Amino acid sequence: MPAKPAGPTAPKALHIANEARRRIIEREWLQGQRIPDEADLAIEFGAARATVNKALQLLADEGLLERRRRAGTRVTINPARKATLTISIVREQVERAGMDYGHRVVAQRRSPAPAKIAKRLGLPQGTVLLHMRAIHYGNGRPFQLEDRWINLAAAPGLEKLDFWQLNANEWLVQNAPYLHAEIAFTAANADKREARLLQTQPGNALLIMQRTTWNELEPITTVRVACQPGYLLNAEGGYRPD
């Protein structure tokens, strides 16, 4: 008899994952210890092995389990805490906060890449890039400063656009999907220009987000975003609730 009903509406794999998580948290399965193998758990939960596999892979992705062929599945001793940052386009961030969005281009010109930028992109120093700086506003107050370098070769069609009006951020998201990205965060003291543009004082601590993206062949763009003082970047961590 093939295919039993897939459960009322509660994904069985999730149920198994949650139950396994409970056992780990309540120390029924101890750190470093082996847990029963997939076949046994399949019997216990009355599920197919594939379903148990899906559940355990979920926990392994979360870092709670370590799985190896032949060696079995063990509870991780020092689980790394994983968090997922969802970085949407600035406009959506601002609008989600219930503010009116605006943006203004401060500078835009072709310019040979400085050593630092060239290195970050992996391009020869002096390669001509499009350099632009813009301010994103929420309710008329500066929200983020954007300092972006764009590899013209990787963004066909971009030369013709008028970024004085268009939003480079959104154009790139929509027109130059990336394959690989590097993201880093740091803090910096606002310099005079940043302070002026953000309408704050020089020296104030700013959260800096630095992103570089590549397609399969070449770098697309690198951007340094300086957030307004006090900006709190939230990430989602932990596991989904039962």
Interface residues toward DNA, by CB under 7 A: 1-9, 11-15, 37-39, 46-51, 53-54, 56-57, 60, 67-73
Q: Which neighbouring-strand residues pair with 213?
A: 181, 221
Least gap, CB of 201 to a copy of itself (angstroms): 10
Are 129 and 140 a contacting pair, CB within 8 Å?
A: no
Task: Give the sign of the dihedral formed by CA 71, CA 74, CA 80, CA 82.
Answer: positive
Binding partner at 47 among DNA, a copy of itself, none, C-beta below 5 to 8 Å by kind: DNA
| Closest of 182, 92, 107, 96 to residue 145, by C-alpha | 107
Least gap, CB of 29 to DNA (angstroms): 12
Alpha-carbon distance of 88 to 136, in angstroms, equals 14
Are 228 and 143 a contacting pair, CB within 8 Å?
A: yes
Beta carbon nearer to DNA, 39 or 183: 39
Alpha-carbon distance of 177 to 161, in angstroms, equals 17
Binding partner at 181 among a copy of itself, DNA, none, C-beta below 5 to 8 Å by kind: a copy of itself
Beta carbon nearer to DNA, 58 or 207: 58
Beta carbon nearer to a copy of itself, 125 or 201: 201
Least gap, CB of 144 to a copy of itself (angstroms): 13
Read off the tokens for 42.
């399949």
Least gap, CB of 55 to a copy of itself (angstroms): 15
Beta carbon nearer to DNA, 7 or 230: 7
